[in-house]
Amino acid sequence: MKQHHAAAYTLTTGSTPVLISMPHNSAEIPDEIKARMHPFAHQSPDTDWFVDRLYECAPDMGLSVLKPSWSRYVIDLNRPPDDQNLYPGADTTGLVPISSFDSHPIYKAGQEPDQIEIQNRLEAYWQPYHQTLEAEIKRIHSQFGMAIVFEAHSIASHVPRFFEGQLPDLNFGTANGTSCSNELSLALTAVAQSSDYSWVLNGRFKGGYITRAYAKPANQIHCMQLELSQATYLNEADGSWDPKRAAQIQPVLQKILKTALAWSQRQ
């Protein structure tokens, strides 16, 4: 198990075919960018809070883990570099978000990044994460003949901008069945089905850029996204970690990872 720290990410190299990517895990924003934002944005309210803590079992299981150093407000690592909408016809935030999930402007008037700055952020923050992700997938695939990329995300249970009502607890995305083996998809969703949590496959969230861009199931590179409702582990009123709720969901997440690992070893 090796850990590699860089300016844009931290990679923990595992000893199995499974890699967990957590592209929205950080809430950090460089001071020079933060100075141009409204005060509420300094806290990065749309962060996938505590995802690394939720999956703290991963290194001991021999899984690789890739985490970013910076908030999605700096640049969204799960958006394509050309900023194409992954959900045509639906509202979504962009490569460099200028509004929050509750539609508040992130930047002070006239302080939004221009195209030159966006390109600079791509080079400084987006590319290093993706180059490392691609290299780690290649290393894993070369060593094991296959790779499973597990995209770990979370989101508030109610975000009217993106979906009506309350989100299911476990939202699996496989780009409508194109990003991973159907057998693997069935195995992972079976864990959710046997739990006390609500779940959906390819519902509102079908997988973002990473799930879609790196998947090559015909070549044994399988990608799946899990968008977890934050109601399963947070006190959503104040965004704090809820130990009781977390203690109930973490064994389910661990079982999902163990199932992916067991499936990889049968191939």
pTM, entire model = 0.96
- Top pLDDT among 93 and 174 is at 174
pLDDT at position 43 over 70:
yes
DSSP secondary structure string for all residues of the chain = -EEEE-SSEEEEE-SSSEEEE-TT------HHHHTTB-GGGGG-TTS-TTHHHHTTTTGGGT-EEEEESS-TTT--TTS-TT---SSTTS----SS-SB-TT--BSBPTT-S--HHHHHHHIIIIIHHHHHHHHHHHHHHHHHHS-EEEEEEEEE-S--TTT-SSPPPSEEEE-TTTTSS-HHHHHHHHHHHHTSSS-EEESSS----HHHHHH-BGGGTEEEEEEEEEGGGTEETTTTEE-HHHHHHHHHHHHHHHHHHHHHHHH-
Residue 181 has pLDDT above 60, yes or no: yes
User: What's the pLDDT at 209?
Assistant: 96
Please compute the mean of the pLDDT values over residues 247-260 and round it to a whole number: 98
pLDDT (0 to 100) of residue 88: 63
Domain boundaries, the chain: 2-266
Report, as an integer, the average pLDDT of 124-150: 98
Position 159 scores a pLDDT of: 87
Residue 77 has pLDDT above 90, yes or no: yes
Architecture of domain 2-266: 3-Layer(aba) Sandwich (3.40)
pLDDT greater at residue 228 or residue 204: 228
Q: Where residue 84 falls among pLDDT bands split at 50, 70, 90?
A: confident
Please give the average per-residue pLDDT across 104-117, as a whole number. Answer: 97
Q: Is the pLDDT of residue 250 over 70?
A: yes
